[in-house]
Amino acid sequence: MINYSVDSDGIATILWDMPGRSMNVLNEGSITAFADAAQKAVADEKVKGVILTSGKDSFIAGADLDMLLNTDTSDATAVMNQFSQLQRMFRAYETGGKPWVAAINGTALGGGLEICLACHYRIAADNKKAKIGQPEVKLGLLPGAGGTQRIPRLLGFGMAQAMGVSQILIEGKDLSVDEAKNLGVIHEVVPADKLLVRAKEWLMTPSKEAPIKPTWPKAPNAVDARAVQPWDRPGYKIPGLPGGQIWSPAGLQTFIGANALVSAKTLSVYPAPKAILSCIYEGLMLPFDSALKVETRYFVSLLRDPVAKSMIRTLFFGLQDANKLVRRPKGVDKQDYSKIGILGAGFMGAGIATVSVQNGIDVVLIDRDQAAADKGRQHVADELDKQVKRGRLAQDKRDALLAKVTATADYAQLKGVQMVIEAVFENREIKAEVTKKAEAVLGVKDIFASNTSTLPITGLAEASVRPENFIGLHFFSPVEKMPLVEIIMGKKTSQETLARALDYVQKIRKTPIVVNDSRGFFTSRVVGGYISEGIRMLQEGVPAAMIDNAARLAGMPVGPLTLNDEVAIDLSWKIVQQSQKDLGDKYKPSGTEDGAGAGRGREEERRRRGDQEAAALRAGGRCCALPGRGRFDRSAGRRYRLDHGSGLRAADRRHDLADRPGRRRQIRRRVRCAGAKVRPAVHAAQAAARHGGQGRKLLRQEQGQSRLTFRLIVCGKGGFGRPCLLQPQ
């Protein structure tokens, strides 16, 4: 597990190589073995320096999450003592008076990086695949072995360095070895075959500094300067801060801004980022050994919080199991895909084609005509060009990948494919038509998969002559970025088809989840209920901003109304229409179909007039509704945005305030405050709409737009919060 050796020059090498594991991890066994080796090196007078390295392709991947998940956290004092042992062990060789160099041959994450940070010098192999970082925050934890104290003291708080501290600790970003070197996390990057040679060379080279007396407790009077960390040197000051004081004006401004950024990004839903920030701030006011105790206290508080264990269980173990296909049916040979067909060259179909060719699969991209198919191929080209521009793909490689895409309108080109993925409109008749055309060319064992988001697979499979080969593959938009794929089993879908579909999803490096066949499957059922509840609240008069903000405060990454807009409002309406058509009398209204809701009959006439006026604007080319862009009026060559539903019941809130001068100051304040928010024109217009003509007059005064009169048209159709059109006059 831990191999210890000393050469004739007095250089000890501690080689970390855990048997039976693809990567080294920190668990009870490896920590104990490493502690024994470290203690031996420190105590041996013949040892002049120590090289710490790995016998595997990677260095150390971090703590064993099984150990963390199964830790008994009922006794906080016992947990504090347990996890402070690791810090004491690192601190023992850090203050042992002998220089240690970490020879980092591969990925060093979490506790693996913290071991390196406790070494006095860090050299990394030039390995493009290696990752350097502290990802604990992504699992609801913080670095618990000194990372929150060593990294800020090492990097400091200059502009770039403060951003680096934030990226590593608060965002949990993985760095390349070059990025880590540029920030100062590691000292050198050398060719992999020179790593151990350079490490020994550094240890054998005499220090250019005179021996110094460190500041750690009971330190000898003279210690090799190479064996003393910056924060253990006399007169150490935190880089980037006046006087090196965290409570200096620059320090306070840094942490006030950092606190605001963390709060804005997490809305204080996740405890780990705030705990990391507090840990850094409090720790930098204390001596290093006391600061480590602060870190342990915050680490234990997070470990005892159910959030961390839930995140570990779901985002690590659950995700790992899904990606490893642990539930793949047994006894089915693995399918190696080389060629597939895609029906529909729109945004989704072209996205599926892109991720397929990026993973070495030839694609036949079919649409209703050659022009439409070519448009889909151009989407693939554009995505590959982005990779070239970012330096992630060579031009010749890009050309080779694009050559794998055959754009055509001829279904005969599907001959020889192993799978066909249908990605046409959410219309049962259209899907049935393309199914029959494709299956006329496919072999008897070839798979037909539908990318439907809501239509039951069993019903779609009725158009297939081989329903046992019919399965659902539901991708999410944009396909290039979204990692999840739903695999939906129909009643007649075979286990062999399921296994081969899982192989394809793994081939394109997506995460599959297998779900039952029901309307909306899993994700759409959850999202549909989420959006519907938001719309119902909107109908009841709850402000749109309040609905979305409340959802985000509850932990959702985006509010229901924003989500509805981003996935396309018209898509939700089409799904409702298709559901009504399929279910007939069995369809149960959700209360959001017509946008009115209970008790709103008195507004029917107002909505009807609003619809007529909005229709007139559309007919004149002055209004459009676009997915993800709300509703706009393009009159006078201008474009104004007003979020869907944000002006709900605006007419009910208008008042004649001409004879109430006492209210004018109040309106002015509300308009001014609204205009100071993220989208000034939108929020100020909303505030103005609530107060009729007087509010609009004040709006013009506040924004200096005296030539524009804003007018709100309330639209009633669609049941999505009655979108508002903001129209300049």
Q: Which residues, in sequence order, are CB contacts of 553 under 8 Å at separation 6+?
A: 267, 269
DSSP state of 503: H
649 has a pLDDT exceeding 70? no
The per-type count for the chain, helices as H runs and strands as E runs, is 27, 21
Q: Where are the domains of the chain?
A: 2-304, 339-516, 527-715
- Omega before residue 239 within 30° of 0, cis: no
The fold of 339-516 is Rossmann fold (3.40.50)
- Cα–Cα distance between 364 and 342 in angstroms, integer? 6
Say what the pLDDT of residue 615 is: 52
* CATH class of the structural domain 2-304: alpha beta
Neighbours of 191 (CB within 10 A): 11
Q: What is the pTM of this model?
A: 0.73
Q: Per residue, what are the HEC states of 596-636?
A: CCCCCHHHHHHHHHHHHHHHHHHHCCCEEECCCCCEEECHH
Pick the range with the lowest mean pLDDT from 102-116, 187-201, 654-668: 654-668
Pick the range with the lowest mean pLDDT from 6-20, 161-175, 476-490, 671-685: 671-685
Say what the pLDDT of residue 108 is: 94
First to last CA, the chain: 77
Active site residues: 486
pLDDT in tens, 497-555: 999 999 999 999 999 999 988 877 888 888 888 888 888 888 888 888 899 989 988 88
Which CATH number, 1.10.3470, 2.60.450, 1.10.1040, 3.30.70, labels domain 527-715?
A: 1.10.1040
pLDDT in tens, 230-265: 999 998 998 888 888 888 888 888 888 888 888 888
pLDDT in tens, 353-369: 999 999 999 999 999 99
Q: In what order do the strands lie in the sheet with 623-625?
A: 623-625, 631-633, 640-642
Helix (H, G, I), strand (E, B) or coil at 516: coil
Say what the pLDDT of residue 666 is: 44
606 has a pLDDT exceeding 70? no
Beta-strand runs (E) in 62-187: 100-104, 108-109, 121-125, 132-133
pLDDT in tens, 399-413: 999 999 999 999 999
The secondary element (H helix, E strand) that includes residue 3 is strand 2-6
Instruction: Estimate the share of the chain in helix, then strand, then coil, as percent rounded to the nearest 5.
Output: 50, 15, 35
